[in-house]
Structure 1
Amino acid sequence: MMVRSTAVILAAGKGTRMKSDLPKVLFPVLGRPMIHWVLDALETSGVTRKIVVVGYRDDLVRSELAGRTGIEFALQAEQLGTGHAVQMCRPLLETGPTGPILVVAGDSPLIQPNSVRAVLNEFQQGGWDCFMGTLLKDNPFGLGRIVRDANGRFSRIVEQKDASEAEQAIREVNMSTYAFDRDGLLQALENLGNNNAQREYYLTDCPAYLLSVGKKVEAKPVLSDCEALSINTLDELKAVEAKMQEMGYPCAN
């Protein structure tokens, strides 16, 4: 039996490459704001508590989600990275259930309920402090790469802008789908730094930190191929819509 989990949905971004003042997660995909597809997948997978991190024009996101149940909000007033976004959830995480914390991106409407279940099942069955669902992508440009040691074990995640030429050739990518032990996550968030090209606090540094203090961390390509498609540009939005139509998603138009 899966223990009760909490999902943190990263939804604070402006989406500057979308050429609009609308918060990115409110862009319509098949006639619905994309964040609804993410929340639907989480609910179908059995996740009942959902914390949505809002920031840019947060009033619009709050209003759009007012009719949904089980939603709590955390405000990221300054967008200082994904790690900073989850840090803003700390008061809610400290007072909530002690089950696993799932962290997902609000701009990935192709997230699959079976993948969410797979990540949580791997997390629980393996006794991990952190488990990351990954996938293999032929053109991984722009995505964080999964770096492994000589024995094939997870070592760290390196972002595109910080990756060496050899690291940029890695095909296994991070798709921002994590399960964390609550106490381990809170400890890692306390120790996050911003020593990187963007001077941001990366959530991707949390797994490596946990590994460095003796915690159990694993990453496996358990996600579906379709989840390689996320939305940062209008062209990517069109590609996601085409894939969703191919897969038989209902259109709200």
Structure 2
Amino acid sequence: MNSPDPSRSSPPSPPASDGADPSSGACAVVLAAGKGTRMNSDLPKVLCPVVGRAMIHFVIDALEAAGIHRQIVVVGYEADAVKRELATRQGSNIQFALQSEQLGTGHAVQCCGDFLADQTGPTIVVAGDSPLIQSDSLKTLLAHFNETQPALLLGTLKKDDPTGLGRIVRNEHGDFIGIVEHKDATPEQLAINEVNMSTYLFRTPDLLDALAMLKNDNAQGEYYLTDCARLLRESGRPVAALPALQPCESLSINNPDELRLVDQQMRTMGYA
């Protein structure tokens, strides 16, 4: 891996109550280390409230409803505050990995290496600041993954206005061949309306292999999880994309205006 092994900040998962090995089921890595500098708040971004509740709770709720009961939350900025907030959840099986420096999404998942070493089931990576993530979408992805067994399945979305988002590029047979960021896209690629929404479902050994291959030779000097798709394809492993996400899941939160928009949408959908 490209970074030192982080110190483990919570104990290993206890055995499941029915005697099943928790590592054999699906696991989730929840990215929750950022400050969210554009939120105009001293709170960690994932603790900013939406519908009167810290937004990360809605992400955990969706994972639980989809049957993903092992969760590794990557913390960084105000890590103790995030831990305290999630400690209020009854019956949750949450572990915490510390990302002491924010060196990209790939680095965040690298910080979970110790936890994932014993994970035999698949691992899904989701953003902790996406409270409109839908359990039905996660179930669809898991079902497709279990049926097809790719190294990586990306959860994508077809969006009427894909401006600013990475486009999913397919060949003439409809097979996934890559992600092209908006700024790098050709006019033909800009016309694509299927976009990457940073929802990644991996066969865990393939995830660990890809994380070990990540490089930070880019202008930001960061390790990007997006690069795992290319690295796995280059190593001859199957990578697929499924437009399973729903329109509401395209709503992101990067500033107070977007937070208000998501709050309104969630109230319309009956979250409050």
Q: Which residue of 1 aligns with 2:98?
A: 75
CA contact (8 A) 2:149 2:203 kept: no
SS at 1:218's partner residue? strand
Shift of 1:218: 0.5
Question: Does 2:151 match 1:159?
Answer: no
User: Structure 1 length normalisation: TM-score?
Assistant: 0.93
Moved more, 144-153 or 130-139: 144-153
Shift of 1:138: 2.1
Q: Which residue of 1 aligns with 2:110?
A: 87
For residues 191 and 112 of structure 2, the distance between their equivalents in structure 1, rounded to whole angstroms, comes to 34
| One-letter amino acid matched to 2:241 | A
Q: Which residue of 2 aligns with 1:122?
A: 144
Aligned residues: 247
Q: Which residue of 2 aligns with 1:173?
A: 195
Q: 1:195 to 1:160 in 2, by over 3 A?
A: farther
Shift of 1:150: 3.8
Q: Which residue of 2 aligns with 1:141?
A: 163
Match of 2:231 among 209, 212, 216: 209
Q: Which residue of 2 aligns with 1:45?
A: 66
Q: Which residue of 1 aligns with 2:80?
A: 59
Unaligned runs of 5+ in 2: 1-23
For residues 167 and 255 of structure 2, the distance between their equivalents in structure 1, rounded to whole angstroms, comes to 21
Q: Deviations over 1:21-53 (max 9, x none)?
A: 211000000000000000001011111100000
Q: Which residue of 1 aligns with 2:4?
A: none
Q: Deviations over 1:70-107 (max 9, x none)?
A: 00000111111111100000010003x30000111111
| One-letter amino acid matched to 1:64 | E
Q: Deviations over 1:168-204 (max 9, x none)?
A: 4432111111110010000000001123343321101
Unaligned runs of 5+ in 1: none
Matches within 5 A, 1:210-225: 210-225=232-247
For residues 200 and 162 of structure 1, the distance between their equivalents in structure 2, rounded to whole angstroms, comes to 18
Q: Which residue of 2 aligns with 1:231?
A: 253
Question: Does 2:117 match 1:111?
Answer: no
For residues 242 and 114 of structure 1, the distance between their equivalents in structure 2, rounded to whole angstroms, comes to 21
Task: Please tell me whether Structure 1 or Structure 2 has the larger radius of gyration of its CA atoms.
Answer: 2
For residues 31 and 75 of structure 1, the distance between their equivalents in structure 2, rounded to whole angstroms, comes to 27
Question: Does 2:266 match 1:244?
Answer: yes
For residues 106 and 172 of structure 2, the distance between their equivalents in structure 1, rounded to whole angstroms, comes to 28
SS at 2:106's partner residue? helix
Give the fraction of aligned pairs with identical amino acids, expressed as a percent. Answer: 58
CA contact (8 A) 2:121 2:204 kept: yes
Shift of 1:163: 4.1
SS at 2:271's partner residue? coil
Question: Does 2:51 match 1:30?
Answer: yes
